[in-house]
Structure 1
Amino acid sequence: MNPLILLIDDDLVSQFDMRIKLQRHGQPCEILSYDCPIEALSWFEDWKSSNGALQLPDILLLDWQMPKMDGFEFLGEALDRGIPLKDMDIYMASSYSNCLERAEEEVKSVVKRRFIKPLSRANVDIIFTNQALKEKV
Structure 2
Amino acid sequence: MTPLVMLIDDDLVSQFDMRIKLQRHGQPSEILSYDCPIEALSWFEEWKLSNGGLRLPDILLLDWQMPKMDGFEFLEEAFERGIPLEEMDIYMASSYSNCLEKATEEIRSKVRRRFIKPLSRANVDIIFTNQALKEQV
* 1:77 maps to 2:77: yes
Runs of 4+ in 1 over 3 A off after TM superposition: none
**Alpha-carbon shift at residue 98 of structure 1 (Å):** 0.3
Q: How many residues align?
A: 137
Following the alignment from structure 2 to structure 1, what is the Cα–Cα distance between the partners of residues 107 and 37? 16
* TM-score between both structures, scaled by the size of structure 2: 1.00
Following the alignment from structure 1 to structure 2, what is the Cα–Cα distance between the partners of residues 61 and 120? 14
Following the alignment from structure 2 to structure 1, what is the Cα–Cα distance between the partners of residues 10 and 71? 11
**Equivalent position SS for 2:100:** coil
The residue type equivalent to 2:13 in the other structure is V
Following the alignment from structure 1 to structure 2, what is the Cα–Cα distance between the partners of residues 58 and 135? 10
* 1:104 maps to 2:104: yes
Aligned-pair identity (%): 85
Following the alignment from structure 1 to structure 2, what is the Cα–Cα distance between the partners of residues 86 and 92? 15
Following the alignment from structure 1 to structure 2, what is the Cα–Cα distance between the partners of residues 57 and 7? 10
Gaps (5+ residues) in structure 1?
none
* TM-score between both structures, scaled by the size of structure 1: 1.00
**Alpha-carbon shift at residue 21 of structure 1 (Å):** 0.1
1:51 matched residue in structure 2: 51
